[in-house]
Amino acid sequence: MVDIEGLVRNAVKNLKPYKYSEEIKEICEKYDFSPEEILKLCSNENFFIPRFFSQKILEEVLKEVDIRQYPQVMNVDLRETIAEFLKLDGPEKVFVGNGSDEVMDIITKIFVDHERKAIIIEPTFDLYTLYVRTMGGEVISVLLEPDFTLNLEKVLEAIEKNKEKASILFLASPNNPTGLQYPKEHVEKILGTFEGIVVLDEAYCEFADYNVLDLFEKFKNLIILRTFSKAWGLAGLRTGFAIASSQITEFMDRIVTPFNINIISQAIIPKLLEKYETIKNAAEAVKEEREYVLDRLKTVNGVEVYPSQANFFLMRVTKKGLSGKEIYENLKQKGILVRDRSHLPLCEDCLRVTIGTRRMNETFIEALEETLVE
């Protein structure tokens, strides 16, 4: 008899699956909702991109492409289009992945193994740790301050202490799940000090005060991650990209699977880039609504709300005798999905909530207030 478990790498045996919110179908069956009744504020999707806008572009693309054919190998045209949009000096500075998740996975495969360490600023996106441990790498965790701000000295100490073995550092700014964007001068200091690869995840930069694209040519060890899932409203098409030196993208090209970006994504993204004003206006609308929601929640007793530079915010349940998990479950029973982040370091009783439309947000706030007094 074949011993399957005995053949599995030890690094994989010790992993836990990436946990996501319950499927809408399960919640509908459990609490007797229809899918249309569920208020989905758990995945940081962009509800400010009009559905008819996306639908129209998709209909145009479906008339132009032949889905019987394979997409272009290595996404050559798409890389060139993105490079031109960002005013980079060549498509070789862009690598496109099936979501930025695939890009993270490929980067980790290149720079991490069982002899190397990865510095991760936490709490943050779970997948950084998952990919590092999948490769057998050791995670060096550097905690944020209790208010989720970055302690630069702690990061620099970790870099100095692990300079012989640390090959990569993950930093999300704006950070997920905290929503905070770190001072640009801190990012520069880290880039100038660390002698490994710095992966700066800017999935939410369109909702923030700045981005670090201007640092790209200055620091050859910088990889910037971007996505079309958030501000651009293409979460369902799973497309993200990295901005990196041609030396790095050449290694990424060596291990990426062929045809990793579907033919629909390759055709729709150039059309979307041409309509950037619509995307930009939607991002501005998100920012305005975010400030409205944060101001409203400051008046709600029993929760503490943290500032955000993303299209979501983090809040902590502070009412005595009530946990974040209980609020999460109570909201779910009302048909409202948020993300329970209590398992992350420093995030006890914390929930992450997507910024929805005004109607969605008012429904959420009303349900939250009801739950806090029940």
319-346: pLDDT as tens digits: 999 999 999 999 999 999 999 999 999 9
Task: Judge whether 350 and 323 are in contact, CB under 8 Å.
Answer: no
Provide the CA 210 distance to its chain's centre, in angstroms: 17
Q: Residue 39 — very low, low, confident or very high, per pLDDT cuts 50/70/90?
A: very high
- pLDDT tens figures, 229-246: 999 999 999 999 999 999
**DSSP letters along 93-107, please?**
GEEEESHHHHHHHHH
Position 99, amino acid: G
**Overall average pLDDT of the 169-179 stretch:** 98
Supply the mean pLDDT for the chain: 96
- pLDDT tens figures, 126-151: 999 999 999 999 999 999 999 999 99
Residue 316 has pLDDT above 60, yes or no: yes
Residue 19 has pLDDT above 70, yes or no: no
Report the pLDDT value the prediction gives residue 15, as an integer from 0 to 100: 87
Residue 358: count of CB within 10 angstroms of its CB: 11
Report the pLDDT value the prediction gives residue 344, as an integer from 0 to 100: 96
Q: In what order do the strands lie in the sheet with 138-143?
A: 94-97, 240-243, 222-227, 197-201, 166-172, 117-122, 138-143
Q: Say what percent of the chain tops pLDDT 70.
A: 99
Report the pLDDT value the prediction gives residue 29, as an integer from 0 to 100: 86
Lowest-confidence range among 5-14, 42-51, 177-186, 217-226? 5-14
Residue 83 has which token pair?
């490079």
Task: Judge whether 314 and 12 are in contact, CB under 8 Å.
Answer: no
**Overall average pLDDT of the 41-67 stretch:** 96
**Overall average pLDDT of the 144-168 stretch:** 97
Round to whole Å and give the CA distance between 96 and 243.
9
Long-range CB contact pairs, 324-333, < 8 A, 24+: 324/348, 324/349, 324/350, 324/351, 325/349, 327/351, 327/368, 327/371, 327/372, 330/371, 330/374, 331/364, 331/367, 331/368, 331/371, 332/22, 332/27, 332/31, 333/31
The domains of the chain, with CATH numbers, are: 4-49+277-373 (3.90.1150.10), 51-274 (3.40.640.10)
Query: CA geometry: angle at 201 spanning 84 and 196, to 5°?
Result: 100
Residue 22 has pLDDT above 70, yes or no: no
Report the pLDDT value the prediction gives residue 16, as an integer from 0 to 100: 83
Q: pTM of this prediction?
A: 0.95
Residue 363 has pLDDT above 90, yes or no: yes
Report the pLDDT value the prediction gives residue 27, as an integer from 0 to 100: 86
Tokens 């074949």 belong to: 2
Q: Residue 14 — very low, low, confident or very high, per pLDDT cuts 50/70/90?
A: confident
**Overall average pLDDT of the 77-82 stretch:** 98
Residue 20 has pLDDT above 70, yes or no: no
Q: Residue 1 — very low, low, confident or very high, per pLDDT cuts 50/70/90?
A: confident
323: helix, strand or coil: coil
Contacts of 147 (CB under 8 A, 6+ apart): 306
Closest CA to 45 of 212, 256, 174, 234: 234
Residue 295 has pLDDT above 70, yes or no: yes
Residue 21 has pLDDT above 60, yes or no: no
Round to whole Å and give the CA distance between 115 and 118.
10
Round to whole Å and give the CA distance between 345 and 62.
45
